[in-house]
Amino acid sequence: MRITHLDAIEVLDSRGNPTVEAWLRLEDGSEGRAITPSGASTGMHEAVELRDGDPQRYGGKGVQQAVGHVRGEIAAALVGSAPADQRALDDALRALDGTPHKSRLGANALLAVSIAYARAAAASRRLPLYRYLGGDEAALLPVPCLNVINGGRHADNTVDFQEFKIVPHRAPSFAEAIRIGEEVFHALKSLLHAHGLSTGVGDEGGFAPNLHSNEQAIELILKAIRAAGYKPGDDVALALDPAASEMWHHGRYRFFKSNQSERDSAAMIALWDDWLQRYPIVLLEDPLSEHDWDGWSELTRQLGERVELVGDDIFCTNPELLRRGIKEGVANAILIKPNQIGTVTETLDCAAEAKAAGYGCYVSHRSGETEDSFIADLVVALGCGHIKTGSGCRGERTAKFNRLLRIEHELGARARFAGRGAFVR
């Protein structure tokens, strides 16, 4: 099926920053659109998000160059061509850019085109996107991990760790998991209000109060779970993303927002060991820095049988980094973010390689999100079993939940809910 049209414009993400939207049409009239998200807490090995750097527009964050690449060089190469499949299209995009991290044309430009093509191809085949990407067996709905308290780079408060999440893993369906998650989210809001704490939200829709300690965030969430009528651990567990790379300072971890203390790798591992004993935590994402490979290996040796240890910054959805992690015994799961690698096929390949090695896969949004719900279809296509896409509010977050609710309804009796078994340990 020939590509007959490709265009792009500069649109806005959830932080009010510019990003790329691409629009692609095939010769049978099938169309696809896609918007690329953007991260704030980013790994150093991520594919390059091309920004203009012009201080006179959007404080230098414009993406007119990336948009121009789609309209110009990419369109010139693709319009009139008939890719054999998604891999052929993505291979053409990678060859056209010609750099290891997609720095010439921009991963934000390439990913928008890649996803737009996937949507158009799915429409041409009269398939839902999750089936186009994952085949007939794609029917597993994920456990939503709702980020209900924000800290770190995602909020201007006194909390060091970036994400405190609730995990309604005992629900019988995705729809019921969302209901439970939302009930806990609203109970937490009431609890914060009763304590005179802020109920304003951070970048991902979680509350961002000033707290006395990182532990206080955990204690408040446990109280909210009970207030909503559920039992911590049994009904609703916890997941954390400390984003420890943001705390890394000259080989140590600096608690720069709370008590100004520092810890070495061994002390951080001891902290997580203590928290796992005290709290019902089923997942730790980036509990150590992307620079701390030795620490990660020791962490995995000590705690890998007790909790899912997810590598985000250390892997960057990159098969090469994942292979090193597998060889060195680092983590037991990988975070999957399409814009870290830059094309749909590379995202699928990385997840497949992780699964083949016995690693879990955890699909994720970015802090600078959009109304594009691609990752909802992606998590079902991959059968990963769990997803993080923000808290219980903000339209760019609930767009993913709503898409998953529609998928579950569409699948009907074929739909399965991952539940507690989604978490590697």
Q: Is 204 a catalytic residue?
A: yes
Query: Residue 154 annotated as binding?
Result: yes
Quote the tokens at residue 224: 């909210």
The neighbour count for residue 27, using CB atoms within 10 Å, is: 13
Query: Residue 261 annotated as binding?
Result: no
How far apart are alpha carbons 87 and 89 in whole angstroms? 5
Query: Residue 353 annotated as binding?
Result: no
Query: Residue 241 annotated as binding?
Result: yes
Query: Residue 372 annotated as binding?
Result: no
Residues 61, 189, 337, 400: which is the catalytic one?
337
Check the CA dihedral 258-150-374-386 and report its sign: positive
**Strands (DSSP E) along 178-268, which ranges?**
237-241, 248-249, 252-254, 262-263
Query: Residue 5 annotated as binding?
Result: no
Query: Residue 7 annotated as binding?
Result: no
∠ Cα 298 302 308 (to 5°): 100
CA distances, 47 to each of 207, 330, 332 (Å): 30, 21, 23
Determine if residue 44 is left, alpha or beta; phi over 0 gives left, psi from -120 to 50 gives alpha, anything else beta.
alpha
Residues 21, 204, 290, 346: which is the catalytic one?
204
Query: Residue 388 annotated as binding?
Result: yes
Query: Residue 367 annotated as binding?
Result: yes
Query: Euclidean distance between the first and final Cα of the chain, in Å?
Result: 44
Determine if residue 257 is left, alpha or beta; phi over 0 gives left, psi from -120 to 50 gives alpha, anything else beta.
alpha
Q: Which amino acid is at 356?
A: A
**Residue 207 DSSP class:** B
Query: Residue 312 annotated as binding?
Result: yes
Q: What burial class does residue 9 get, using C-beta atoms within 10 Å of its C-beta: 0-12 exposed, 13-18 middle, 19+ buried?
A: middle
How far apart are alpha carbons 246 and 277 in whole angstroms? 25
240 phi and psi, to 5 degrees? -130, 145
The neighbour count for residue 53, using CB atoms within 10 Å, is: 11
How many residues are recorded in the chain? 425
Query: Residue 365 annotated as binding?
Result: yes
∠ Cα 145 37 3 (to 5°): 120
How far apart are alpha carbons 125 and 97 in whole angstroms? 28
Residues annotated as catalytic are 204, 337
Return binding residues for (2R)-2-phosphoglycerate. Answer: 162, 337, 366-367, 388
Return binding residues. Answer: 154, 162-163, 241, 285, 312, 337, 364-367, 388
Return binding residues for substrate. Answer: 154, 163, 285, 312, 364-367, 388
Return binding residues for Mg(2+). Answer: 241, 285, 312
